[in-house]
Amino acid sequence: MTVAFRNVTKTFADGTTALDSLDLSFASGELVVILGPSGCGKSTACRILAGLETPSSGTVEVDGKDVTNLPPRERGMSMVFQSYALYPHKTVFENIAYPLRVRGTPKAELVRAVHEVAAMLQLERLLERRPRQLSGGEAQRVAVARALVWKPQICLMDEPLSNLDALLRLKTRIELKRLHAELGQTFVFVTHDQEEAMSLGTRIAVLNRGALVQFGTPQEIYHQPATRFVAEFIGKPASNTLEGELVEGSFRCGALVVPLRADAATVSATLPASGRVVLAIRPEAVRLHEVAGPGTVAMTVEVVDAVPPDTILSLVCAGASILVRTQAPPANLVVGATVHVSFPLSALSFFELESGARLR
Amino acid sequence: MSRGWRGAAKALVLAIIVVALLPYVWLMLTSVKTRVDALADTPRWLFSPTSEHYPEVFFRKDYAPLVWNSVLVAVGSTVLSLALGVPAAYAFARLSFRGKEDLFFFFLTTRMAPAISIVVPMFLLFNFLGLADTRSAVILAHSTFNLSLVVWMMRGFFEDIPPEVDEAAMLDGHTRAGAFARVVLPLAAPGVAATAVLCFILSWNEFLYAFILAAFESRTVTVGIPGLVTPHGTLWGQVAAVAVVATVPILIFTALVQRHLVRGLTFGAVKG
Amino acid sequence: MSSPRAPHPRSCLVGLAGLSGLARLGSSLAERGLGAAFLFPAVFLLLLLLVGPFLYTLYLGFTDLSYSTPGQDGNFIGLANYRRLLFEDGVFWHSVATTLRFVAAAVSVEMVLGFAIAMLLAAQVQRSRLIMPLVLVPMMLAPVAVGLLWKLVLQGDFGMVTYSLRALGLLGAETSPLGDPALALTTMVLVDIWQWTPFVVLVTLAGLLGLPRAPFEAAMMDGASRRRIFFDVTLPLMRPILAMVLLLRTIDAFKEFDKVFLMTGGGPGTSTELLSIYVYRVNFRNWDLGYGAVCAFMIYLVVLLLCKVFYGALSRAATSHGRAGAAR
């Protein structure tokens, strides 16, 4: 089974464009994460797939069949809402059982299915409670149970973890991962939290301003960002991006000079010989040296932010500033000290200045 | 939603509007019809209008003072209810005291009290106080329901303002009363305005208290209406003219407070 | 090690607590004074205007006060008025029955019709904002004016509605909606429906628009049909508000006076003599104030009872609606 958005655009009545020609397709069994900052259209994409919104143009296909105008109940998908959307007047049991009830499932089978999914999500104790009597984490698990009880082909999750506190979010994330592995259904998971996306997704679709920017595995997204936006959005802290100039085989940004010649074949082949570009490098890829050497740049320590096991240094030199993450900071590190850094060529990404498109 | 369903829904809504408005429109038309047109065997939609009834009933028959009475009674009752009710509402919203909810329930019962049960002893009371057939009597009587309306509505409006506002004002050196008067009340001004308009409407429309307590010199427009309806030879043009004058201002006021109407009529339970 | 002269830390704390307690007591006394000052005038006025007369009504009920019968100037007659009400006054019980029929018929139709119209309007939110002011007209008119305009259009010989009904064959040429004892109460019910259905529309529409969208979307995802969503989600979520509207309408319909007074005055015969009309007649036509007080007291009692039930429904509606609002 495959799911495909074909050139989907959604413009709301107030004139805002939530999705701009979205093209995205994936196969069954995946856990696809739709990731993006708030307002990027990720929830709209999810709701269009569910059938809760109709696209302004374009089509949604499931197994090659156009489902754009099908009502939600004929799409065979379930959904976990950000607010959980439990029925406040029904017990937990009835909440979970509701999708089966509307499908006329025989009583015995219904009870069995509810108890099975309740056991899977540790909800057996809570079946007689009302939503009002549940904690946030419990309500969230009920919402998941309701979405899985009738074994839909696709389960959509619209920021299901964002109302939980940090610890519970981590626990639930692992739980969802286990469920996905056990059930083998297709999950579509919408989030603005890149850490969640990295942890959960078999593939991640990064959205920005209603358009798909990159669709790939977490590794690809992290190490080969397709645009400057992805580089600056992913990672904690995100990539350092420096706007500078290519001059005579090196990259210059103020006093910061990165020689690119050493590995001409791999680096400069796809780069223009000169002109302004953007360089990106992950904070943990920057190398620290005790003494100056070939290709190193001297920078001054401005802030030392130690959160064990990591230390994050913010370094400056004339015209440039970067963040460096390391687990082995140089000894006697103080604010104002000088450190020497070098940028391994294999860790560098370059983007066009104007479009932000990847050059290398 | 299919197109056919949409069309049917539109037609239905249109029908509802027609049913809701038609009798009233007919009343307005009657107020500008000659006697012959008004009493025609076949209802007449087309006729040459006349404006004779308005001056006739308001000046020659002296119904103008009734309008004035209505205005004075409605304004008086509104001012009195706000003056006493707004501070009480603030106390309900912000202070805690024993028996608070019971007292609040008492205000509800006064809002609901059937006029017919209260009006007899009230009639005797006002006779005793020498207030028979005065506007003051009607103003006081109308305050029974308007005062509780103010207390119920304004409590909700005050509770919409975060208590931190009062606390900040008190930290800035105001007393509790000062915080109420200088900071909270101005913030609640739109609520006060809406409540005032609702009070005015309820008082203006009220009939039974006004009818029993002031049937002669101080009678209001609503009390004047039945007097014009006689078993035989009712002058429908004139009655309609009075009814139009009695209702048009209220419809304008309603449009002003429509946003708060639900809240006022449901005792704050539905915010609308 | 603390020096021996320093006060014991715990006693110091206790002292502080005492001080702040005193301060709190002071401010709470000031607040109590303020609360009293804010509440007293309002409570005093209502005690004077409502509770006083209410107690006086109770007292009058034990007397024979009548302005129309010489010699009955307020002598104490014990429970005689109550005995008369319970066992001798068929007209009173007839008016009770008439009132119950009026309330049951009018309120039930208003609820169903009003909620249906609200559902219809809720589907077209944008337009409903323009439509509502028009739909509200009947309930905002002075009730006396409502009585008047219906009396006008229902005139036997030239009324616009009477004429139309006859033209459509719905009404016999000789029958008049207000003059026929068999029809008059039904006519009153229909006029009440015309006047008060907008109220049900107004409040239930506000309720519907205030419901959270999420449970409806969840039900759609769970595969429920429109019909099932109405019965499984809409109706249960609206229940507190519907209950509140029902009680409010019941209380108001029970007190109905103005338009019936103007349109029929209780007639023809006693066919539309509601309780309130009957009480009016006893007090202000027969001037039988002692007995009238007992009748009035009965109305008060019923309203007070309904009021108590309403208060419960009100807080349930408020919390459910508040929660719904917060969830959005």
Q: What are the C-alpha distances in Å from A336 to residues A299, A302, A324, A332, A333?
A: 9, 6, 15, 11, 9
Query: Which of A74, A89, A100, A188 has the highest number of chain C CBs within 10 A, making it the mutation to test binding with C?
Result: A89
Least confident of C21-25, C47-51, C180-184: C21-25
Q: Which residues contact A227 (CB under 8 A, 6 or more apart)?
A: A213, A214, A351, A356, A357, A358
Question: What would the two tokens of residue B90 be?
Answer: 């603030």
The contacts of residue C91 (CB under 8 Å, 6+ apart) are C270, C273, C278
Evaluate if residue A354 carries a pLDDT over 90.
Answer: no
Q: What is the pLDDT of residue B216?
A: 86
Asked if residue B21 is part of any domain, the answer here is no
Between B267 and B165, the higher pLDDT residue: B165
User: Which amino acid does the sequence have at B239?
Assistant: V
Interface contact C60, partner B, CB < 8 A: yes
| C108 pLDDT more than 90 | yes
Phi, psi angle pair for C322, to nearest 5° = -60, -45
pLDDT digits (tens, 9 = 90+) for C303-317: 888 888 888 888 777
Task: Answer whether C225 touches A (CB < 8 Å).
Answer: yes
* pLDDT at C2 > cutoff 50: no
The alpha-helical segments, DSSP class H, found in B129-220 are: 135-160, 163-171, 176-178, 185-187, 189-205, 208-213
pLDDT at position A59 over 90: yes
Q: Which of A341-350, C35-44, C67-76 has the lowest mean pLDDT?
A: C67-76
Residue C317 Cα, gap to closest chain A Cα (Å) = 14
Sheet holding A17-27, edge to edge: A17-27, A2-11, A57-62, A65-66
pLDDT for the residue numbered C20: 45
Contact flag C323-A72 (C-beta cutoff 8 Å): no
If you average pLDDT over each of A260-269, B52-61, B138-147, which comes out highest?
B138-147
Q: Which helix H or strand E contains A297, and what residues bound it?
A: strand A297-307
Residue with tokens 């002011």: C133
Q: Which of A57-61, A256-260, B9-13, B200-204 has the lowest mean pLDDT?
A: A256-260
- pLDDT tens per residue across span C110-161: 999 999 999 999 887 777 778 888 899 999 999 999 999 998 888 877 788 8
Q: Taking the mean position of all CA atoms in its chain, how far away is CA B27?
A: 21
* Contact criterion met (CB < 8 Å) for C50 and B110: yes
CATH homologous superfamily of C90-327 equals: MetI-like (1.10.3720.10)
Q: Is residue B234 part of a domain?
A: yes
For residue B2, the model assigns a pLDDT of 64
With CA atoms as reference, report the closest residue to B119 among B135, B147, B85, B142.
B142
Q: Give CA–CA dist A238/A222, Å, rounded.
A: 10
Q: Which residues of C132-150 are buried (b: 16+ CB within 10 A; e: fewer)?
A: beebbbbbbbbbbbbbbbb
Phi, psi of A77 (to 5 degrees): -120, 155
The CATH architecture to which A240-352 belongs is Beta Barrel (2.40)
pLDDT at C154: 87
Residue C166's SS3 state is: helix
Domain assignment present for residue B45? The answer is no
What's the whole-number mean pLDDT along residues C89-115?
A: 94
pLDDT band, residue A266 (cuts 50/70/90) = low
> What DSSP letter does each residue of B31-78 carry, written as one string?
TTS-HHHHT-SSPPSS------HHHIIIIIS--HHHHHHHHHHHHHHH
Whether the Cβ atoms of residue C120 and residue C204 lie closer than 8 Å to each other:
no
Cβ separation of C206 and B262 shorter than 8 Å? Answer: yes
Per-residue pLDDT tens digits for A197-233: 999 999 999 999 889 999 999 999 998 899 999 999 9
User: Is B touching A (3+ C-beta pairs, cut-off 8 A)?
Assistant: no
A114 pLDDT band, cuts 50/70/90, is very high
Distance in angstroms (rounded) separating the CA atoms of residues B14 and C135: 10
Report yes or no on B88 lying in a domain: yes
Let me know: does A239 contact A229? Beta carbons within 8 Å. Answer: no
Across C53-63, average pLDDT: 89
Banded model confidence at residue A91, pLDDT cuts 50, 70, 90: very high
- Cβ–Cβ of A72/C215 closer than 8 Å? no
| Residue A45 three-state SS | helix
- Residue B259: predicted pLDDT: 82
Of B220, B226, B265, the C-alpha closest to B246 is B220
- Radius of gyration for chain B, computed over Cα atoms and rounded to the nearest angstrom: 23
Looking at the predicted structure, is the pLDDT value of residue C13 above 70? no
Shortest CA distance to B137 belongs to which of B189, B69, B229?
B69
Res B55: pLDDT: 83
- Tell me how far the alpha carbon of residue A274 is from its chain's centroid: 34
Is residue C26 over pLDDT 80? no
Task: Choose among A84, A88, A102: nearest Cβ to C222.
Answer: A102
In the chain, the amino acid numbered A344 is P
CA dihedral C311, C312, C317, C323 (to 10 degrees): 120
The whole-angstrom separation of Cα C33 and Cα C27 is: 10
Could you tell me if A261 lies within 8 Å of chain C, comparing CB atoms? no
Q: Any CB–CB contact under 8 A between C219 and chain A?
A: yes
Structural element, H or E, at residue A47 = helix A42-50
CA distance C48 to chain B (A): 10
Q: CA nearest B88 in C: which residue?
A: C39
How far is Cα A117 from Cα A240, in angstroms, rounded to an integer?
Answer: 45
B148, B86 contact by CB (below 8 A): no
| Contact present, B and C (at least 3 Cβ pairs less than 8 Å) | yes
For residue A338, the Cα-to-chain-centroid distance in whole angstroms is 36
User: Above 90 in pLDDT, residue A189?
Assistant: yes
A214 close to A230: Cβ distance less than 8 angstroms = yes
- Asked if the C-beta of B16 comes within 8 angstroms of chain C's C-beta atoms, the answer is yes
User: Which residue in A207, A354, A208, A349 sits closest to A282, CA to CA?
Assistant: A349
Q: CA A176 to CA A189: how far, in whole Å?
A: 10
Long-range contacts at B94-101 (CB < 8 A, ≥ 24 apart)? B94/B158, B94/B163, B94/B166, B94/B180, B95/C31, B95/C32, B95/C34, B95/C35, B95/C38, B97/C32, B97/C35
Residue B61 has φ and ψ, to the nearest 5°, of -90, 0
Does the CB of A314 have a partner CB in chain C at under 8 Å? no
Chain B residues 211-230 with CB within 8 Å of chain C:
212, 221-222, 225-226, 229
CB A320 within 8 A of CB A255: yes
pLDDT score for C236? 92
Q: Which domain holds residue B250?
A: 53-265
Most confident range, picked from B110-124, B174-188, C2-16, C190-204 = C190-204
Compare CB distances from B246 to C120, C142, C321 and report the shortest one's residue: C142
Distances from the Cα of C158 to the Cαs of A308, B250, C232, in angstroms?
Answer: 93, 28, 49
How far apart CA B126 and CA B134 sit, in angstroms, is 9
> Is the model's pLDDT at A267 over the cut of 80?
no
Of B54-63, C90-99, C114-123, C252-261, the range with the lowest mean pLDDT is B54-63
pLDDT for the residue numbered A336: 87
Looking at the 3D structure of chain B, how many domains does it have? 1
| Cβ atoms of A194 and A314 closer than 8 Å | no
Q: What's the CA gap between B95 and B79, in Å, rounded?
A: 24
CATH assignment of the domain containing B179: 1.10.3720.10
Chain pair B-C, CB pairs under 8 angstroms: 277
In sequence order, what are the residues at sequence separation of 6 or more whose Cβ sits closer than 8 angstroms to the Cβ of residue A88?
Answer: A130, A131, A132, C215, C237, C323
Q: Give the mean model confidence (pLDDT) for residues B91-108.
A: 87
Residues C161-211 have pLDDT tens digits of 888 888 888 887 777 888 888 889 999 999 999 999 999 999 999 999 889
ipTM of model: 0.90
**pLDDT-derived band at C326, boundaries 50, 70, 90:** very low
Backbone torsions φ then ψ of C98, nearest 5 degrees: -60, -45
Q: How confident is the model at residue B137, as a pLDDT?
A: 92
The pLDDT assigned to C256 comes to 93
Mean pLDDT of chain A: 89
The reported pLDDT for the residue numbered B206 is 94
Task: Kindly state whether B67 is in contact with chain C, defined as any CB-CB distance less than 8 angstroms.
Answer: no
Determine the Cα–Cα distance for residues C167 and B107; give it in Å rounded to an integer.
50
How far is Cα B231 from Cα C179, in angstroms, rounded to an integer? Answer: 12
Instruction: Identify all chain B residues contacting C191, using CB atoms and an 8 Å cutoff.
Output: none
Average pLDDT over residues A150-160: 91
Sequence spans of domains, chain C: 90-327
Q: Which residue of C has its CA nearest to A146?
A: C222
Q: What is the pLDDT of residue B120?
A: 86
Q: What 3-state class would DSSP assign to B154?
A: helix
Whether C217 has its CB under 8 Å from any CB of chain A: the answer is yes
- Give yes or no for A94 touching C (CB within 8 A): no
- Predicted local confidence at residue A146, as pLDDT: 94
When the pLDDT of each residue in chain B is averaged and rounded to a whole number, the result is 88
Q: Is residue B228 part of a domain?
A: yes
Q: What pLDDT, on a 0 to 100 scale, did the predictor assign at position C28?
A: 63
User: Could you report the per-residue pLDDT of B125-149, keeping only the tens digit for each?
Assistant: 898 889 888 999 999 999 999 999 9
Contacts of B26 (CB under 8 A, 6+ apart): B43, C149, C152, C153, C160
Gap between the Cα atoms of B238 and B58, Å rounded: 9
What number does CATH give the domain A2-233? 3.40.50.300
